[in-house]
Amino acid sequence: MNDCLLILTVGTGTAGIHSNLAQGLINTLSQAQPRLFWLVPSAHPDSTGIADLVRELAPNGSCFQSWNTSTLYCSIAKPDDLFVCRATLRQVIASARKFLKRGERLLVNPTSGTKQMSVAATLAALDEEIGEIVFTVGERHDGVVRTGTERLVTFSTEQFFHERTLREAERLFQAGAYHGAALLLKQYGQAARDAHDLAACLREWQRLNYEEARQIAAGASAPALVKLRHHLTQLAHSPEESLLVLGDLMSSADNLLRWGDYEEALARYYRATEVAAKLRLAEKHHLRKPYKLADLRDAAPSMQGSLEANARNGVCYLGLRQAMQVLQALDDRFADDYFADGKLGELLNLRNETVAGHGASIVFQHSVEAARSRLGSFLQGHFQELDQAINTAPRPRSLLDSREPLQDLTHASPPDKST
């Protein structure tokens, strides 16, 4: 049994002593030896007539497949209309795919027909992700292949699909959809490993899942990730209340703002402010998690009542406002400056009305940008090294930073459709 099915376009032929379109197509069938084949002529009677000859004289072992029980061909009504041709060929490809058996390939031969038919057949094959396109070539006379000299040349479409996938993944990557980019690239396995690892690592990094991001970078060969290994290791091993984590929170929030995810960006700016307050408690007042009720009560006796109300099993859980109130009770200028800028608190508290807080409201870009501006100025006044922490290890902004996939994908193996 032959291992392929074949779809051929059929033109009207070019008269001449050296060329015979019908015989050329029959010779093509003899070389390809498909188990089943479909002929796609135009609606022109000459084209249909040639298709009839090919069907009647097809070599043994290759069986012509009718379009349906009442129609021999799915003819192209407008052979000079690229889009009509393309739509018709996509129909035929979709129908022929249903006849495939395990181990068989579906091939498209777009050689015959109008230029629009040939281009459309090629586009349709790419649309439907046909793995191979077969062209009939040979010695030429007066611009056409001499009958009897035909030979088949196969064009693998894998490189096209690989490059298209990389372009799609790059667009997702640029928009911060790292998970989507990683899923697209995963199907190409080792061929796209560097690009996949870069997208997967940045996904975990953006989620603040530092340990997983560190592990991906540690096992990756992408140059961009090799450079990030030390930084991700530091993040994974740093306490929550550290300048490094504060800088990373601000950086991740800036990314979300750039991508237009305003609610989540505001939520991270809010969280960064809370981390900054707790970092101040740790650095200036030696108060660290877990916040023991006895320690806070001794440090801020004026807050005894509210601290006791907040405590569980002798431990207090401080949010942004509570941490700032403790600092204020400790006469810390950090809290004074925060509360003095009422607008900053007002902007950050918009987070409470969103799904990140206790509501379902949206926030607008200008509000989040204003919060970022005020927060940046406020934090910079108390953490002079914050800008350095934010920019210590900029996130790669392109899959091209992985370098290798651009070479590997051009020689990649077919994708694993099971993934």
231 pLDDT tier (thresholds 50, 70, 90) = very high
Q: What is the pTM of this model?
A: 0.78
406 pLDDT tier (thresholds 50, 70, 90) = very low
67 or 149, higher pLDDT: 67
Residue 285 pLDDT > 70: yes
Domains detected in the chain: 4-156 (3.40.50.10770), 158-222+403-419 (no CATH), 241-394 (1.20.120)
Rounded to whole angstroms, the Cα distance separating 382 from 84 reads 67
Element holding 363 (H helix, E strand): none
Residue 19 pLDDT > 70: no
Which region holds residue 9: left if phi is over 0, alpha if psi is between -120 and 50, else beta?
A: beta
**Residues 343-366 pLDDT 10s:** 999 999 999 999 998 999 999 999
Classified as helix, coil or strand, 40 is strand
**Residues 303-319 pLDDT 10s:** 999 988 888 999 999 99
Note the pLDDT of residue 193: 92
Q: If we measure between CA atoms, which residue out of 172, 174, 176 comes closest to residue 184?
A: 172
**Residues 115-170 pLDDT 10s:** 888 899 999 999 998 878 887 776 655 445 566 666 777 777 888 888 889 999 99
Element holding 170 (H helix, E strand): helix 158-174
- 296's tokens: 């806070």
Residue 51 pLDDT > 90: yes
Share of the chain above pLDDT 90, in %: 67
